[in-house]
Amino acid sequence: MYIEIDKKDKRPLWLQIVDQVIEYITNGQLSPGDPLVPTRQLARELSISRSSVQIAYEELQSRGYVITSRRGGTRVCDIKADLSQTNTEEAPPIIPDNPLLEEKSERVEHWPDVKTEEKAEIDFRLHVPYIDATFQKSWRHATNTVLKKENLFDWGYSSSYGLYSVREQISRYLAIERGIHVNPDQILLTLGARQTMDIIAQALLQEGDLVSVEDPGFPVAWSSMRYRKMEIDPVPVDNQGICVDQISPHTKMIFTTPSHQFPSGVLMTANRRQELIQFARQNQTWIIEDDYDGEFRYRGAPLPSLYSQMPTNILYLLSFTKLLAPGIRLAAVIGPEEAIERMAKVQEFVCRHLPIMEQHTLGQFFETGDLLKHVRRMRSIYHKRHRDMIQTLNTSGLSKSFHIQGTDSGLHVLLEANHDFDEYGAVQTALKAGIGVFPLSPYCLKSNRKGLLLGFAHLESKQIIQGIQRLAKVLG
């Protein structure tokens, strides 16, 4: 294995090593079981610090390409072949000819919450991003710029796909940030995750179809599908992601959060990704890839998307709820043109088109580069808060009582406990001390996993540290 470092390359040294090792593995030049050069030796050969090599090896291990043991050193894992690069015949899912577009009146399930009249002084609430004065000023400036334009057509009816100019900006953003290359006609703007799931159900499924979801998982995934009379198949999640071997071959659609599994925080490994892709190809199954917290990874670059490996079978979800603010009800779904066209027809049927001015403001936010600046600024802020959270969990002793999940990315952590753990007792005990935490079990269907979920994005570091220390005292 020959590694070459280019000092003129803008990429960090460790990332140059990672990319070259992955290329050796995918090209077959490194085989399963082959050892990597010891970190000290490689650092000496490259004339760089050993820490850079260690970071590279840790990143390769977190992606599932290598495994490290005390006796065996670092060796290549058994990676399944990436069939997306071969000339094998694609087998995209079959879209029904006459989907039923009938509105149902059933009650939609709500987010799990703890019913209490007490209020938390320090609330580790989930799904709440940090909204500061800098963002508000930038968004307000974008809105004012749009309002000054005198084109009356900007206030008229719009395409059910969403504004073309905004979809152009999203396609550029995806190419830069996520390595996804699509044209605007492969993008549909929606009003958020729940509406996106509902549109998918109406456009691409039929009543009674089997839909596989992660368990524990994202409640919107199964509640929206149940609302449309689909059969829900809960699939367990382990430390590599969704357990593909337990997905029914009869399923029509699989919902997954590979970049940061919600709520466990697990990153889907390279092997598991290939298993899932091969399953979808063999069974003509749709995959809904929710890139949940994909932008907020604190060790290494964002993971490659499933969509970039097999676009024929995947619908990729991008929400601006976490990137910007929950009140900006805009999201996007990316997929094959035929599927997006069918979904656009459903959207036209149910709501004609999305609010115009919000779209124009988002487009302006993209055009000025403010969105990329905002995402990178938030990544830096969240990284510090995440680091403070993990460090305090370790120093407080909570890491001895719980298994801490979500240590590499995302805007929350999971304190996983034993199956006999009294979640609600712990929640109420914490609340009496002024600390708001949330149980894991409401995010489960058949799973009996237990634990506590703590969101940190909206809290200052001082609050995070104080809240964890107080939580450690009351939970013993």
> How is the chain split into domains, by residue range?
13-79, 122-133+373-475, 153-370
For residues 125-150, give the mean pLDDT: 88
Whole-model pTM? 0.83
Strand pairing category for 253-256 and 241-242: unpaired
For domain 153-370, the CATH architecture is 3-Layer(aba) Sandwich (3.40)
> What rounded mean pLDDT belongs to the chain?
87
CB 188 within 8 A of CB 333: yes
CATH topology of domain 13-79: Arc Repressor Mutant, subunit A (1.10.10)
Answer CATH for 122-133+373-475 from 3.90.1150.10, 3.40.640.10, 3.30.70.360, 2.130.10.10:
3.90.1150.10
408: Cβ contacts below 8 Å, ≥ 6 apart: 62, 265, 267, 297, 298, 299, 300
Residue with tokens 């691409």: 204
**Once rounded to an integer, what is the mean pLDDT over residues 383-403?**
93
- 238 DSSP 8-state letter: E
Q: Please report the pLDDT score of residue 285 as a whole number.
A: 96
How far is it, in rounded angstroms, from Cα 27 to Cα 21? Answer: 10
More confident residue, 127 or 339: 339
| End-to-end Cα separation, the chain, in angstroms | 50
CB-based contacts of 238, cutoff 8 Å, min separation 6: 266
* 117 confidence band (pLDDT: 50, 70, 90): low
pLDDT tens column, 205-249:
999 999 999 999 998 888 889 989 999 999 999 999 999 999 999
Residue 335 has a pLDDT of 96
Answer yes or no: are the C-beta atoms of 138 and 424 closer than 8 Å.
no
pLDDT tens-digit map of 176-204: 888 899 999 999 999 988 899 999 999 99
Residue 413 has pLDDT above 90, yes or no: yes
User: Phi/psi of residue 16, each to 5°?
Assistant: -60, -40
All residues at 6 or more sequence positions from 23 whose CB lies less than 8 Å from its CB, including other chains: none
